[in-house]
Structure 1
Amino acid sequence: MKKLILLFSLSVTLLSCGKEAAQKTEDTSAKKPNILLLVGDDIAFGDLGTYGSEIKTPNMDRLANHGVRFTNFHVSPVCSVTRSMLFTGCNNIEIGLGAFDYSVYPPTRGKPGYETYLTKNAVAMSELFNDAGYDVYKVGKWHLGGEAAGGFGPLGWGFTKEFGILSGGSNHWNDLAMTPDFSKPNGLNEKRKEHWTLNGEHYDRPSGVYSGELYTNQMLQFIKEGQKSDKPWFAYMAFTTAHFPIQAPPELIMKYYPKYLELGYAGLKKARYESLKKQGLISHSAVEAPENSLTHKWNKLSKKEKEKQAKIMATYAAMIEDQDNRIGQMLDHLKASGELDNTLVVYLTDNGPEGFEPTHPKTGNPEMAKWVETQFDGSFEAIGTANSENTIGVSWANAATGGLQWWKWFIGEGGIRVPMMIVPPGAFNSKHQLAGKTTNAVVSVKDIPMTILEYANIKHPQTNYKGRKVVAPSGVSIKPFLDGKSDIVRTEDDWYAFELFGNSYIMSGNYKAIKVRTGMFGDGKWHLYNVVNDPSETKDLQADQPERFKKMLALYKGYAEKNHLMEVADDWNPFKGASE
């Protein structure tokens, strides 16, 4: 009898354990995914090792090997405009970023759509994640409002914890700003401090700690604190590398110096073009981008100038390598804590490389040049330190893009086509069907929030958010493509248009119609390119495909009229008085 009771008890226990195990499995599978959104700053399409670069990025290689690498991903040509679309899925003009704080066409001031900060016309995905019970973290730069210009900081957009700067960049070693205070009478003769915050309160930024280390440690602290509550989290890691000032940990700099001294500007551009083409990251039918008239000739530089330029570019490479190391820190922590397998990881950069060069005769800023000359150490030895204020300039920026034309500020492919990788939940520990795949599917930055929300099973409210009228997003989800249910992300009917500084383009499938004003070194006329087959935008197709060209221009005209886009004078130059 005792044996029967014991066996019965054991059976009940085993059955109970089985139910608990099944319940645990069910709970795990039903658990909401974490989101790790990584954004690099001013990094070119050809800058990452996994995108054909000589710069070593083994942790980004991990993302590419486990996820999907996109080679026709488009953003805006400047930082805050991209970030507005990244968080809302909307067009920039609909949500206040028809201009941005560092450069405003004077007649647009005060006009709807040109506020220069993210307006409440939109709902940000951070708000929706907050509503869904997520911890929502932001670390790094914000650049969507909250300072004197208006708008709101991260805590006003659903973030539960935040750390970093509200502006577009800062010194990487201390609490100094990256630009002078142009509004002060004595602003060019002094350095100013950047505004740092931790959860909305003033933060005394320590000197001597590199930005990548400071930001990463704080993000890891947020994540570790959140793990105690067992809530899912959305983490927005907005690096300030490789934004100017060009500064980096000294131990990483000189390893790239000999290569850049040997190659020079044109040599690096050619080497990257050939690498991109060989690895299938640009079409095998692609041709080299033509020489850009704004760039400098390497052979015209003195030996001393070449050495300085090579070290500046080596420091830029070190900034990217440091960013890769920091991403590795985060991936390693998530793996050790058992959360990596339930995390969606997205990496992108906000625009092409920064070509701003204070002393450049056509795109420079004399006031900024004076400030740099008088307030910082311009020596070879100081490059990369806290007391240096260098930029890579037009020539290295042009070289960094490899087979593409132009750079940040411009809507040529070099300014708007950037690296983007997505690793779906579970792909690190199990073989994803698209693991290691490289795709030339055309994707917009507006598609990222729609993709992230779908993975989290969060529905967008479309036009009404808690009684607030908002713009419905025009981004589309990439998830069906990642799930193998579709071969494309956007059909030709899923077109999108863009305008900034009076320069315009529209994408429909693989085709891009583009017009650049003469004030920004274009010819003021529309051109048509297949940017998948012709990433250097050298073969104008409007004569070969007049119907397509006509249709795309009509679509753009409708977009411009609907959004009340203002005309910009042909000769206006946004660089005068601009610093980013």
Structure 2
Amino acid sequence: MKKLLTLSVMVILLLAFGKKSKHTETPQTLAQSQPNILLLIGDDIGFGDLGAYGSEIKTPNMDLMAERGVRFTNFRASPVCSVTRSMLLTGCNNIEVGLGAFDYSVYPPTRGKPGYESYLTKNAVAISELLNDAGYEVYKSGKWHLGGEEEIGGGTPLEWGFTKEFGILSGGSNHWNDLAMTPDFKDPNGLNVKRKEHWTLNGEHYDRPEGVYSGEIYTNQMIDFIRDGKSKNKPWFAYMAFTTAHFPIQAPPELVDKYYEDYLNLGFEGLKQQRYESLKKHGLISKSANEAPSNPLTHKWEELSEDERKIQARVMATYAAMIEDQDRRTGQIIDYLRESGQLDNTLIIYLTDNGPEGFEATHPKTGNPEMAKWIESQFDQSFEAIGTANSIHTIGVSWANAATGGLQWWKWFIGEGGVRVPMMIVPPGGFTEGYERAGEISSATASVKDIPMTIMDYAGIEHPKTEYKGRKIVAPSGVSIKPFLEKKSNQVRTEKDWYAFELFGNCYVVQGDYKAIKVRTGMFGDGEWHLYNIVEDPSETVPLERDQPERLENMKTLYNSYAEANNIMEVDSEWNPFKGASQ
């Protein structure tokens, strides 16, 4: 009788709990075992641009991610947007999946050659497809920049396994309205008019409202997607591809003023020095790291007029505001996940796609006269208009150079300033107490190719390697970071896990702590191979080829094997990709 009474009480309690759960949020871990995955991608944001990476820019939500997860300081993307994204979604080398070139700049002899399509090809399977197959809801909000546009070719997100999508197919757009960031260079009248960007929601045309900032519109839509996924009681993968801080440099005005006076006082050189010192102080670069030397393409602050300085300071303050807005949007998503009981069962990864954008339309060596003409005739470039929808400033070579602190070069270039970017991972449960590696700053060697393999590892998905649904595919060369995150290993990549990269005829190999690099004269290099220890010497100022000639020769051999296997074409030593390039 006593046992029967106890059983009755348990049944009543279970029924009561069941009724309550219909009206309150409960942790999603009760309903699903596979983690949700939130992949956050910043656009054209440099190694020294986040508070968690020593910056003066306020990024409290990203700082919290750094405190609860791991910050990586020896992580590389590619030097340009779409090339990074091709590796980020496949785990393969860019040349293997069509991004040996990208839509804004193609070396003419490579046109039509395999590997140089400039859009993501079906030579690979994307993690979005594999996650979809495994029962995940798969969302994309923001930019795509992997094809799907009529004039480029390739597929849209819905053709790559995404179940819901929102945003643009191109590499960027106006942050306040539906205008494109560049003219139509093929239109004879293109430099005299503004053109519209094509927006879609789940494959259908979307009328983008004016006056809503890009970070707000992309984030709100992503949260709507995630909310829908939770109602289906299914795990989800959210590919949150912000367009901040890609040009045009525009931001909510209330965030701009707080930075203006500091940048006016610091100037280009002052900010470069301040960030270099901050990176060293916070252990984000080696204590032995040298200052990066002055770059011959940059301008001197002292040579600017007072009005020019004011404009430049306002532009950089707007850029900082773009990054702060991205941080707020990141916080908005994390807050929603916390409130809806999903945060503890979500893997969160943040990275940026390349270094800061140094494009400057009027620059004599890297500019674009047609773009400069379009900006001058179609937009208001006055001090008062900076940050608004009718202004199309870029931060230019000098602020881009300053943004990376102790590194050299910026977007488009394979120096560390162009390819070494912030990357943070918070594993499921990391926002609660007890994650062993919480707050660590790691110099473990890692590549953007490793992110998709890490995601699949957490989701419990095996890669099909060389065949997917009847089509031949390239096996990925990325490795999972999960064993490192779980303290089963102290490395992500050993010296055996070397990786190589090439774009525009410039190339490098990373093996352990070392990087062998060759840059053509057409992109301001000397065309010779050099060797650096990029952990001790991230500014790449202490060449080691004379001290370690055998290591350099071995790494050159590795690169040559990579180039031969992938039919990488030689590029004329003097070719300049900026001529005719629009980004």
Same fold (TM over 0.5): yes
CA distance in 1, matches of 2:202, 2:529: 46
- Does residue 1:84 correspond to 2:116, yes or no? no
Deviation at 1:203, TM superposition (A): 0.5
Aligned counterpart in structure 2 of residue 498 of structure 1, from 501, 507, 528? 501
What is the alpha-carbon root mean square deviation over aligned residues? 1.6
Matched position secondary structure for 1:441: coil
- Quick one: which of 528, 536, 539 aligns to 2:539? 536
Aligned to 1:184: 187
Match of 1:61 in 2: 63
Match of 1:420 among 410, 414, 423: 423
The Cα shift of 1:317 comes to 0.1
Amino acid of the residue matched to residue 7 of structure 2?
Answer: S
**2:115 maps to 1:117:** no
Q: Which has the higher mean CA deviation after the structures are superposed, 220-229 or 386-395? A: 220-229
Q: Quick one: which amino acid aligns to residue 172 of structure 1?
A: H
Alignment correspondent of 2:6: 10
Deviation at residue 547 of structure 1 after TM alignment: 1.3
- Map 1:163-242 to 2 at 5 A: 163-242=166-245
Structure 1 pair 19–442 and aligned structure 2 pair: CA distance change class (3 A):
farther
Is 1:274–2:277 an aligned residue pair? yes
Summarize deviations over 1:532-560 as a string: whole Å, max 9, x none.
10000011111111111111000100100
Distance change >3 Å, CA 264–CA 139, structure 1 → 2: same
- Match of 2:547, SS state, is coil
Q: Which amino acid aligns with 1:379?
A: S
**Displacement of 1:431:** 1.8
2:297 corresponds to 1:301? no
Pick from 566, 569, 572: which aligns with 1:569? 572
Q: Deviations over 1:215-236 (max 9, x none)?
A: 0110011111121111110000
What CA distance in whole angstroms lies between the structure 2 residues aligned with 1:428 and 1:344? 10
Equivalent residues of 2:28, 2:342 under 8 A apart: no
- 1:28 positional shift: 2.9
Q: C-alpha deviations, 1:305-356, integer Å up to 9, x for none?
A: 0000000000000000000000010000000000000000000000000000
The answer (yes or no) to whether the contact 2:99–2:115 under 8 Å persists in 1 is yes
| Displacement after TM superposition at 1:26 (Å) | 12
Q: Per the alignment, do residues 17 and 257 of structure 1 end up closer, same or farther by CA in structure 2, a change over 3 Å counting?
A: same
Provide Cα deviations, 1:370-401, integer angstroms capped at 9, x if missing partner: 00000000100000000000000000000000
- Deviation, 1:65, is 0.6
Residue 8 of structure 1 and its aligned partner are, at CA, apart by: 1.6
Verify the 8 A CA contact 1:356 1:394 in the aligned structure 2. Answer: yes
Q: Does 1:545 align with 2:541?
A: no
Task: Check conservation: 2:32, 2:234, Cα contact below 8 A.
Answer: no
- Distance between the aligned counterparts of 1:377 and 1:254, measured in 2? 19
AA aligned to 1:280 is G
Partner of 1:440: 443
Residue 130 of structure 1 is matched in structure 2 by 132
- 8 Å contact 1:463–1:472 — kept in the other structure? yes
1:549 alignment partner, SS class: helix
Query: Residues of 2 paired with 1:414 and 1:371: CA distance?
Result: 29
Q: Distance in 2 between matches of 1:308 and 1:247?
A: 13
Give the distance between the partners of 2:30 and 2:582, measured in 1 at CA: 48
**Matching of residue 259 in structure 1 with residue 259 in structure 2:** no
Q: Does 1:140 align with 2:142?
A: yes
SS in 2 for 1:139: strand
Residue type at the aligned position of 1:8: L
State whether residues 138 and 163 of structure 1, in contact with CA within 8 Å, keep that contact through their aligned partners in structure 2: yes
Q: 1-side partners of 2:419 and 2:118: how far apart?
A: 19
2:457 counterpart of 1:454: yes
Residue 96 of structure 1 is matched in structure 2 by 98
Name the CA shift for 1:127/1:26 in 2 (closer, same or farther; >3 Å). Answer: closer
Q: Please state how far the C-alpha of 1:468 moved relative to its aligned partner.
A: 1.0
Q: Check 1:386–1:25 CA distance in 2 against 1; reply closer, same or farther (3 A cut).
A: closer
**Cα deviation, residue 10, structure 1:** 2.2
CA contact under 8 A between 1:517 and 1:524: conserved in structure 2? yes
CA pair 509-525 structure 1, distance change in 2 beyond 3 A:
same
Q: Does the 8 A contact of 1:66 with 1:431 survive in 2?
A: no
SS of 2:338's equivalent in the other structure is: helix
Query: Deviation of residue 29 (structure 1)?
Result: 8.6
- Tell me how far 1:454 sits from its aligned partner: 0.3
- Is 1:46 the equivalent of 2:48? yes
Tell me the distance in 1 between the aligned counterparts of 2:29 and 2:460. Answer: 16
Change (3 A) 1:166 1:133: same
Structure 2 residue aligned with 1:514: 517
CA distance in 1, matches of 2:6, 2:287: 67
Alignment partner of 1:310 is 2:337: no
Q: What secondary structure is seen at the aligned counterpart in 1 of 2:443?
A: strand
1:420-476 residue CA offsets vs partner (Å, 9 max, x unmatched):
000000010232000011001110000000001101111111111111110000000
Q: Is the 8 A contact 1:38 1:237 kept in 2?
A: yes
The code of the aligned residue for 1:38 comes to L
Using the alignment, how far apart are the partners of 2:463 and 2:13 within structure 1? 39
1:550 counterpart SS class? helix
Q: Quick check: 2:139–2:239 contact (8 Å CA) kept in 1?
A: yes
1:196-252 superposed Cα distances (whole Å, 9 cap, x missing partner): 000000011000000000001100111111211111100000000000000000100
Unaligned runs of 5+ in 1: none
1:359 to 359, 362, 373: 362
In structure 2, stretches of 5+ residues that fail to align are 18-25
* Aligned counterparts of 1:58 and 1:448: Cα–Cα separation in 2: 24
Q: After superposition, give the CA deviation of every residue in 1:114-134 in whole Å (9 maximum; x if it has no partner).
A: 000000000000000100101
Could you tell me which of 389, 392, 399 is aligned with 1:389? 392
C-alpha distance after superposition, 1:138-158 (max 9, x if no partner): 000000010021000100000
Could you say if the C-alpha distance between residues 524 and 20 of structure 1 is closer, same or farther in structure 2, counting changes exceeding 3 Å?
A: farther
Q: Does 1:370 align with 2:339?
A: no
Choose which of 30, 39, 45 in structure 2 pairs with 1:28: 30
Corresponding residue SS for 1:242: coil
Question: What is the CA–CA distance in structure 2 between the aligned matches of 1:205 and 1:66, rounded to whole Å?
Answer: 36
Aligned-residue offset at 1:20: 12
Q: Which amino acid aligns with 2:10?
A: L
Distance 1:202 1:289, change over 3 A: same
Secondary structure of 2:497's counterpart equals coil
User: What's the secondary structure of 1:493's corresponding residue?
Assistant: helix
AA of the residue aligned to 2:448: V
User: Corresponding residue for 2:21?
Assistant: none
2:109 aligned with 1:107, yes or no?
A: yes
Partners of 2:222 and 2:88 in 1: how far apart?
20
Shift of 1:254: 1.1
Partner AA of 2:169 in structure 1: L
Quote how far apart the aligned CAs of 1:7 are: 4.3
Query: 2:76·2:447 contact (CA, 8 Å) conserved in 1?
Result: yes
Mapped to 2, the partners of 1:486 and 1:131 lie a distance apart of 30
Normalising by structure 1, we get a TM-score of: 0.97
Q: From the superposition, tell whether residues 19 and 544 of structure 1 become closer, same or farther in structure 2 (CA, over 3 Å).
A: farther
- Which aligned runs of 4 or more in structure 1 are off by greater than 6 angstroms? 15-21, 24-27
